[in-house]
Amino acid sequence: MGHDHGHKSCRETVELFLDYLEGRLPAEDQAELDLHFTACPPCHDILRSYRAVPDICRDATAATIPAEVADRLHRFLADKRSRK
């Protein structure tokens, strides 16, 4: 990932992903990263992956656990607690 689009290198860009997504960067840095993502497909792909994580987590937690598995899990946790 040795591209150097704009002023930020790919390495610097990746280090700032979280701040970028949460809108915590100064406007100038945010604009620089926007340019970088436009010009650098690999970084843009990584950004898309980062943005997908909350949806993936939401989908995973929305899955229902079969009642039998949930019962076993509750029994297991209760057993662990009572042995402390």
Domain containing 22 — which CATH number?
A: 1.10.10
26 φψ region: left (φ > 0), alpha (ψ -120 to 50), beta (else): beta
In a domain, 37, yes or no: yes
Q: Give the residue with greater pLDDT, 7 vs 17.
A: 17
pLDDT category of residue 84 using cuts at 50, 70 and 90: low
pLDDT category of residue 18 using cuts at 50, 70 and 90: confident
Look at the block and give the residue holding tokens 């436009």.
Answer: 38
In a domain, 58, yes or no: yes
Look at the block and give the residue holding tokens 């010009």.
Answer: 39
Domain containing 22 equals 10-82
Tokens of 33: 């990263």
Which are the contacts of 4, defined by CB distance < 8 A and separation ≥ 6?
Answer: 10
pLDDT in tens, 19-69: 998 899 999 999 999 999 999 999 999 888 888 887 777 777 777 777 888
Distance CA 42, CA 2 (A): 11
pLDDT of residue 17: 85
In a domain, 23, yes or no: yes
| Burial classification of residue 20, based on how many CB atoms lie within 10 Å of its CB (0-12 exposed, 13-18 middle, 19 or more buried) | buried
| Domains identified in the chain, total number | 1
